Structure 1
Amino acid sequence: MRLGSRHNPFYRVVVMDAKKPQKSKFIENLGYYNPTKNPQIIELKEDRVRHWLSVGAQPTDTARSLMKKQGILQRIHEEKVGKASTSAEAADDAAESSES
């Protein structure tokens, strides 16, 4: 959602129903993005972003890009890969102990 004045854009990152018009009321404000500052300011509430992604929210390409820049998607991916590798290691350990 664009805010700010002419030649001074400022964006809110919000959760919206995909079926509603862009200018309609949003469900939750997740943070903001200010591209005019140097360096650019990206401030997102990571816990709320994680919540909405976990319940199936689909970020736009731009929102996904902002999440990547802040490192949120990388941390989520590392947690998922870490859980998968620990469960695979546990399965290997269980298989080895049953063979003995």
Structure 2
Amino acid sequence: MIRLARFGARKQPYYRVVVIEKDRARNGRSVEVVGTYNPRTNPASINLNRERIDYWTSKGAQMSEIVAKLFAKTPVAA
């Protein structure tokens, strides 16, 4: 599963986009970190490694709804 893991201080969320087994805890040990998302900046900063996300989805990993929306928002690097 590709989903968000929350980091940062209280009331200052910062997220990592991680590849993790579906039954693990939200902030449990992940397989790989494939990006970051910071909603506190204006506009929100999204940094995703598209190559690794494509690799993991080809191996059967599913994206959460939020990660899928973030993935659609980010432009393809030329």
The normalised TM-score by structure 1 is 0.67
Letter in 2 for 1:14: V
Counterpart Cα distance in 2 of 1:33 and 1:2: 10
Task: Point out where structure 1 has 5 or more consecutive residues left out of the alignment.
Answer: 73-100
Counterpart Cα distance in 2 of 1:22 and 1:9: 14
What is the identity percentage for the equivalent residue pairs of Structure 1 and Structure 2? 36
Contact 2:6 2:27 in 1 (8 A): no
1:18-63 CA deviation, whole Å, 9 max, x = no partner? 1222232000000100001011100000110110111111011111
Matched, 1:21 2:25: yes
Return the structure number with greater helix share.
Answer: 1
RMSD of aligned C-alpha atoms? 1.3
Contact 2:19 2:33 in 1 (8 A): yes
**Larger radius of gyration between Structure 1 and Structure 2:** 1
Number of residues of Structure 1 aligned to a counterpart in Structure 2: 72
Return the structure number with greater strand share.
Answer: 2
Question: Helix, strand or coil for the counterpart of 2:17?
Answer: strand
1:49-98 CA deviation, whole Å, 9 max, x = no partner? 110111111011111111011146xxxxxxxxxxxxxxxxxxxxxxxxxx
Task: Point out where structure 2 has 5 or more consecutive residues left out of the alignment.
Answer: none
Aligned structure 1 segments of 4 or more residues deviating by more than 4 angstroms: none
Hey, what does 2:51 align to over in structure 1? 47
